[in-house]
Amino acid sequence: MKNTITNLGLKLPENKGVYHGKVREVVTMENDQLLMIVTDRISCFDVVLPKGIPYKGQVLNQLAEIFLDSTKDIVPNWMLATPDPNVMVGYNCEPFKVEMIVRAYLSGHAWREYRAGKRELCGVTLPEGLKENDRLPEPILTPSTKADQGLHDEDISREEILKQGLVSEKDYELLEKYSLALFQRGTELASEKGLILVDTKYEFGKYKDEIYLIDEIHTPDSSRYFYKEGYDDRQKAGESQKQLSKEFVREWLIEHGFQGKEGQQIPELKEEFVNSVSERYIELFEKLTGKTFDKAEISYIEQRIEKNINNYLNT
């Protein structure tokens, strides 16, 4: 798509280097700050799909800005400024090598593991007799390793994290506390908008020896949402839940024979499908925020981003 940003072709000021993530380009600046450009790339099963999704980067960045701002009373976060709809600037934190995933319902990866016969996930025992999308007795933490580029994240237990020395016990206790408190806040904010926060992931890092919340939170790339209205009826009837997340993209890929496994071909992403994904992202933004999504000018998206970054850095 000509009106999407997928590859970083920007002329950026002097910096210490660029990290190419699945969705984000992270630039380490000379002033001990990070400049994060949220592209329109979409990743499923740890594979970046070949076409960008119009406005996806803007949706993710602006939702992250809203939710970081609304949770800064729980834990300090890395955000300092958003000089462009697709750009965030913040503290250069040293990331922990684990992602904290909180689940309140048996969905997605957790359901696929459960369906395969597993009754323990990341050291947490799951009860028998659950159906897909059932609510769990209480939210659970199912951490994963933060894989290097091109590798898959893997489930890991609290005990194994401490054993491997990935996080100190003192810091891990704080990560658990922060994650559950953030999930509770996210649950409340979603409920006010008629949604259920099903599961989500949080990433943390350290800056000047203090723990900060980093990256995005409560976006459709990091979270799964169900519509609250009709949830119970759909569960009783054994029907699929109406949801807002990128899980529908994963389901579409699975239906077309792709799960990111070796030898599998990514199915063709036709324009109609790409546009439908864009519309779902915008729908979630408006549903979560109660605001109309203001589409940024994307005719010359790279030039716009480059101009706004340089204007910010030169002020």
Domain of residue 184, CATH code: 3.30.470.20
Specify whether 109 is located in the same domain as 210: yes
Task: Give pLDDT, residue 113.
Answer: 96
Specify whether 147 is located in the same domain as 223: yes
pLDDT, tens only, 164-219: 999 999 999 999 999 999 999 999 999 999 999 999 999 999 999 999 999 999 99
Specify whether 105 is located in the same domain as 220: yes
Task: Give pLDDT, residue 171.
Answer: 98
The amino acid at residue 128 is E
Specify whether 109 is located in the same domain as 237: yes
Task: Give pLDDT, residue 221.
Answer: 86
Which positions of the chain have pLDDT values less than 50?
A: 1, 150
The amino acid at residue 83 is P
Specify whether 228 is located in the same domain as 99: yes
Q: Is 27 exposed, middle or buried (0-12, 13-18, 19+ CB in 10 A)?
A: buried
Task: Give pLDDT, residue 306.
Answer: 92
How many domains does the chain fold into? Answer: 2
Task: Give pLDDT, residue 152.
Answer: 60
Specify whether 236 is located in the same domain as 157: yes
Residue 254 maps to a domain: no
Residue 253 maps to a domain: no
**Overall pTM surpassing 0.85 (yes/no):** yes
Q: The CATH number of the domain where 63 resides is what?
A: 3.30.200.20
Specify whether 229 is located in the same domain as 104: yes
Specify whether 83 is located in the same domain as 155: no
pLDDT, tens only, 93-123: 999 999 999 999 999 999 999 999 999 999 9
Task: Give pLDDT, residue 1.
Answer: 44
Domain that holds residue 238: 95-244
Output the DSSP codes for 189-211.
HHHHTTEEEEEEEEEEEEETTEE
Specify whether 105 is located in the same domain as 226: yes
Specify whether 240 is located in the same domain as 285: no
Task: Give pLDDT, residue 148.
Answer: 58
Task: Give pLDDT, residue 205.
Answer: 97
Where does the chain show beta strands of DSSP type E? 15-20, 24-29, 33-38, 43-44, 47-48, 79-84, 87-91, 94-95, 98-105, 120-121, 124-125, 135-141, 144-145, 195-207, 210-214, 223-227, 243-244
Residue 258 maps to a domain: no
Residue 192 maps to a domain: yes
- Gyration radius (Cα) of the chain, Å: 19
Residue 263 maps to a domain: no
Residue 259 maps to a domain: no
Specify whether 71 is located in the same domain as 41: yes
Specify whether 238 is located in the same domain as 287: no
Residue 134 maps to a domain: yes
